[in-house]
Amino acid sequence: MEHLVFEFGPYPERPRPAAAVIVGVVGSGNLEALCESAPLGGRLRVEVSSSVHGFGNTWKAVLGDFADRVRLPDLLITINDAGATPAVVGLRLAQAAAELGAA
Amino acid sequence: MSAGYLEATARQRVARFFDAGSVHEWLGPSARVTSPHLAALGMPAAFDDGVATGRATLAGRPVYFAAQEPEFMGGAVGEVHGAKLTGVLLRAARDRPDGVVLLLDTGGVRLHEANAGLVAIAEIQRAVFEARLAGVPVVAVCAGSNGCYGGIGIVARGCDRIVMTEEGRLSVSGPEVIEAHRGVEEFDARDRALVWRTMGGKHRYLLGEADALVEDRFEALREAVVPYLGHARPLDLDSVRAEHEALGRRLARFGEAPDSLDIWSALGVADPARVPMLEPGPFVEMAAPLRERADA
Amino acid sequence: MRDVLALCDALFPAGHDARLEGGRVVGTGRTRDTEVAVVGTHAHAAIGADLAFALAGDVLAIMEDHPGRPILMLVDTQGQNLSRRDEMLGNPGYLAHLAKCFEVARRRGHRILALVYGEAVSGGFLALGMTADEAYATPDAQVRVMALPAMSRITQIPVERLEELCRTSPIFGPGAQNYEKLGCLEAVWHGDLAEALAAALARPARGDRRRSLGAERGGRLAANDVVERLLREP
């Protein structure tokens, strides 16, 4: 397993989602992402556990893109990944953003 | 999102099966109750260990539920996954809701947690009986893409009722396992027609292993489950005696049958070869008066 | 591997009339204090629809003819019978029926023990053995889900890695000791079988303690905690 942590922002304050949001499932080529409010000094933090090693830069690029688009402060996203492609990662994050009301 | 139950995830199923807005999860994803065993194998964990558990209402009646996630390790039962199922059932035995609904979708024991998974299934089985003996009906829905196999197939038949779809399958050993042990002459696992007529919902309904057969639609599945709420079936000497008689009759009638088609024919199905083509509605209309019962 | 009638001699020095019928062993044994109904399997019998049905018949007969008599399951099964016929006939229903018969016997006051003296595998063990108030085993008993090579094929984990994991964790490897550590077996009977049986029968049934035993013994650290937490959830 590879464990990666990324932080983005800080972003300006805005109303926080009340409840946690979960999208996707842990299945071959898929992932689950759990999005929760957390005191992060305005930052957006992503913690990834992946069964596939060596894609740190790809994660950083895809997640950074997402973070700069939604600009959600104090959000913790925890990801369990079973080998999702960047396209699937993007799809799941877009789903999460929609459910968080930030799409 | 597809309209059917078959291809939905566990959380989509829960959200659409129970009354809108009524679902409250216990040990949901934020609790991060994950498998302690998978990391050592380089396998990703899931925040709910592949089963959503909680309470909801169904047609306004309070129920407890568990829903296995088909994508996560084929719905297989590990230590934590199994303990969540046991917990829901023991909680039902304590609190006595109008029913427990188990949305089962599994290959059985999670081999990555082999022994712990097997013990977990034994504990689930005992907990099903605890709930039933407390007067809480336990209804198993076997309508998922993995089917309902292994020890959970036995657990399902320990419940009060089983609701199936044609696509749902119920067995102990799956086709691949039988083929691997006994050869392709015994069971050709790639022969989907053979799999369905041996283990699928229609055969299980005709045999009396399933109580209801409906189409792969949430509304149809809900409507099948609702009448069972609040009506626990007895689990006593009379009920096991009656079941014994029925299962003995099944062996006597069909024990020598070479194929399910022969069983259907012996039951009086006019055109057994046409059974797989029938829509669930006309099928039940045809099958209900002919089918065997395990409880009568 | 033990001969089941010799095993009965050791369990019941005061006498027994256990006999073999197909894959079953059935009869009555006498301990110092009581008569014990024996129901079980031998020769690694695979439990299919017919055998599960016959075993259920044995349990029903015990309930009808000898209400309250303690029951000892003698377990030697390679698991559920792997065949198209048994699944076509509805093996889940037959195995569950056997489990229900044991449950009803328990509720009617029968003390139910199991002794694994041969093999105990998967679906067979779920219906016969794990349905007891408590299960015990002889030290040489082979309890398992699946042999390691087959497990390796399906999980894609190399056998060498599985063997390595077996040394540190009781969850993969076969054997009575592992299942004892998981709380699935109350104890392994090393000494005099007749004494161990009498002592076990003298204790009252205490409900399903497997998950708490698994936690106490360090073999299953999560299960008990998860159940307790779920029971407390708002």
Q: What is the pLDDT of residues C110-131, one digit of tens each?
A: 999 999 999 999 999 999 999 9
Does residue A79 or residue B2 have the better pLDDT?
A: A79
From residue B116, how far is each of A86, B79, B174 by CA, in Å?
35, 5, 21
ipTM here: 0.98
Question: Across-strand partners of B245?
Answer: none
**Among all chains, which residue has been given the structure tokens 């109008």?**
B98
Are residues A80 and B42, on separate chains, in Cβ contact within 8 Å?
no
How far apart are the CA of C27 and the nearest CA of chain B, in angstroms? 20
Report the 10 Å Cβ neighbour count for A13: 9
Question: Across-strand partners of C134?
Answer: C113
In a domain, B133, yes or no: yes
For residue C87, give the nearest of B173, B235, B248 by CB distance.
B173
Nearest CA in chain C to B37: C171
* B30 shares contact with chain A (CB less than 8 Å): yes
pLDDT, mean over chain B = 96
Are residues B72 and A25, on separate chains, in Cβ contact within 8 Å?
yes
Nearest CA in chain B to C219: B116
Q: Which residues contact A74 (CB under 8 A, 6 or more apart)?
A: A16, A37, A38, A39, A40, A41, A42, A43, A44
Q: What is the pLDDT, as a whole number, of residue B296?
A: 57
Percent of chain A past pLDDT 70, that is, above it, reads 99
In a domain, B39, yes or no: yes
In a domain, B134, yes or no: yes
Residue C23 Rama label (left phi>0; alpha psi -120 to 50; beta):
alpha
For residues B30 and B68, what is the distance between their CA atoms, to the nearest angstrom? 17
Please name the chains neighbouring C, where neighbouring means 3+ C-beta pairs under 8 angstroms: B
Residue C7 dihedral angles phi and psi, to the nearest 5°: -60, -45
Are residues A34 and B72, on separate chains, in Cβ contact within 8 Å?
no
In a domain, B165, yes or no: yes
Choosing among B7, B9, B51, which should be mutated to test the A contact, i.e. which has the most A CBs within 10 A? B9
Mean local confidence (pLDDT), B71-83: 98
Nearest to B69 by CA among B38, B111, B110: B110
Q: What is the pLDDT, as a whole number, of residue C154?
A: 84
In a domain, B30, yes or no: yes
- Cα A53 to the chain's mean position, in Å? 18
Q: What is the pLDDT, as a whole number, of residue B1?
A: 43
Report the 10 Å Cβ neighbour count for B72: 28
From residue B83, how far is each of B21, B148, C105, C225 by CA, in Å?
26, 18, 25, 9
Considering its fold, how many domains does chain B have in total? Answer: 1
From residue C10, how far is each of B264, C27, C39, C185, C199 by CA, in Å?
49, 15, 16, 20, 15
Mean local confidence (pLDDT), A52-65: 95
Cβ-contact A74, A14 below 8 angstroms: no
For residues C134 and C204, what is the distance between their CA atoms, to the nearest angstrom? 11
Please name the chains neighbouring B, where neighbouring means 3+ C-beta pairs under 8 angstroms: A, C
In a domain, B35, yes or no: yes
Tell me which residues of chain B, numbers 79 to 118, contact chain A at a CB-CB cutoff of 8 Å: none
Ordered DSSP codes for A16-80: PPSS-EEEE--STT-EEEEEEE---TT-EEEEEEESS-S-HHHHHHHHHHHHHHH--SSEEEEEE
Q: Measured between beta carbons, which residues in chain B are less than 8 angstroms from residue A20? A: 28-30
Choosing among B47, B110, B112, which should be mutated to test the A contact, i.e. which has the most A CBs within 10 A? B47
Q: Measured between beta carbons, which residues in chain B are less than 8 angstroms from residue A50? A: 44
Pairs of CB atoms within 8 A across B/C: 243
Q: What is the pLDDT, as a whole number, of residue C218?
A: 96
Q: What is the pLDDT, as a whole number, of residue C151?
A: 86
Are residues B29 and A80, on separate chains, in Cβ contact within 8 Å?
no
Q: Which residues contact B270 (CB under 8 A, 6 or more apart)?
A: B286
pLDDT, mean over chain C = 96
In a domain, B15, yes or no: yes
Q: What is the pLDDT, as a whole number, of residue A101?
A: 83
For residue B42, give the nearest of A25, A36, A51 by CB distance.
A51
Mean local confidence (pLDDT), B30-35: 97
- Give the single-character DSSP code of A93: H
Report the 10 Å Cβ neighbour count for C93: 30
Are residues B46 and A80, on separate chains, in Cβ contact within 8 Å?
yes
For residues B289 and B283, what is the distance between their CA atoms, to the nearest angstrom? 11
Ordered by where they begin, the domains of chain C are 4-232 (3.90.226.10)
Please name the chains neighbouring A, where neighbouring means 3+ C-beta pairs under 8 angstroms: B
Percent of chain B past pLDDT 90, that is, above it, reads 96
Q: Domain span at residue B222? A: 10-170+210-234
CATH of the domain at B148: 3.90.226.10
Are residues B117 and C145, on separate chains, in Cβ contact within 8 Å?
yes
- Cα C118 to the chain's mean position, in Å? 10
For residue C84, give the nearest of B91, B198, B294 by CB distance.
B198
Are residues A32 and B46, on separate chains, in Cβ contact within 8 Å?
yes
For residue A25, give the nearest of B42, B43, B69 by CB distance.
B69
Nearest CA in chain C to B42: C157
Classify each residue of C169-203 as buried b or exposed e, where b means 16 or more C-beta atoms within 10 Å of its C-beta. Answer: bbbbbbbbbbbbbbbbbbebbeeebbebbbebbee
Choosing among B51, B53, B169, B240, which should be mutated to test the C contact, i.e. which has the most C CBs within 10 A? B240
Classify each residue of B139-174 as buried b or exposed e, where b means 16 or more C-beta atoms within 10 Å of its C-beta. Answer: bbbbbbbbbbbbbbbbbbbbbbbbbbbbbbbbbbbb
In a domain, B130, yes or no: yes
Spans in chain C with pLDDT lower than 50:
none
